[in-house]
Amino acid sequence: MKKKTTFEKKTAIVTGASSGIGKALALSLAEQGAYVMLAARREDLLKEIVGQITDKGGRADYCVTDVSQAEDCKRLVEKTVQNWGKLDLLICNAGISMRANFDDVDLEVIHRLMEVNFFGTVHCTKYALPYLQQSKGCLVGVSSTAGIHGLPWRTGYSASKFAITGFLETIRLENMKKGVHVMIAYPGFTTSEIRYHALTADGSAQGCTPRNESSMMSSEATAAHILKGIRKKTQYQVSFTDIVVYFAKFLCKRLLNHVVYDMMAKEPDAPTKE
């Protein structure tokens, strides 16, 4: 007899579900018995992943969604509730990165980062929250090490991740007595497509990764870490690297600044101007 899991017959939305952490979260949730709505912009990939889930007897659907568009997010939530009658879990995972010196960057790049990463979280939360309040469900925002300490050449990315923290911490306080669990996840460097699609100074995609992907945590391991935090109802789910960064930020900030700068400056073709 299959053991019942925390997510059995729970209804979940995962944004940024076409690849990386989002895809791993969707597959794992479905495997554990959840009804999963996958959201992203690439319909072909969404169809493929939903097919993988349904072929194994899981329950899933998709909704092509640009989270920077409020109406898309509204449609996403409405489709989920129409399909399954409720919403228990929203994971705001969709995001893009950047790699450019602020001296050179087109301001539209910063706006784009905020629109997708921050406002994407705001839009989805706005339309999902009434249903999460009804189900006493869970809201998750996927942040980053860049949301704990600024990373050079990632101004828009760090700003958007810090903004997500402030937004979700406030949502948590406003819903303390409404039974909604709000968690902010801070995964460390994870193997995914995010660095390939990172925006450069002029807004074009980087097209490659400047880091050794093989040395990073897998998307599947990161997804498992996030789902563990949801099961335990933690407020923050932090990787070991982020724990070190967090405490170093308060205990030896000047040293941490040099360490972070030197680490990022070692990337091939780092846009440093010394």
CA angle 70/74/79 to nearest 5° reads 150
Query: For every residue of 116-157, which 3-state class applies, written as one string?
Result: HHHHHHHHHHHHHHHHHHHHCCEEEEECCHHHCCCCCCCHHH
For tokens 């070991």, the residue is: 240
Distance CA 28, CA 20 (A): 12
Q: Which two structure tokens, joined as six digits, stand for 45?
A: 């990939």
Q: Contact at 8 Å (CB) between 29 and 5?
A: no
Any catalytic annotation for residue 62?
no
Helices (H) and strands (E) in the chain, counts: 9, 7
How many alpha carbons lie under 13 Å from residue 180 in its C-beta half-sphere? 25
> Around Cβ 55, how many Cβ atoms within 10 Å?
8
The backbone torsions φ and ψ at residue 46, rounded to the nearest 5 degrees and listed phi first, read -60, -45
Q: Which of 157, 186, 196, 236 is catalytic?
A: 157
Catalytic site positions: 157
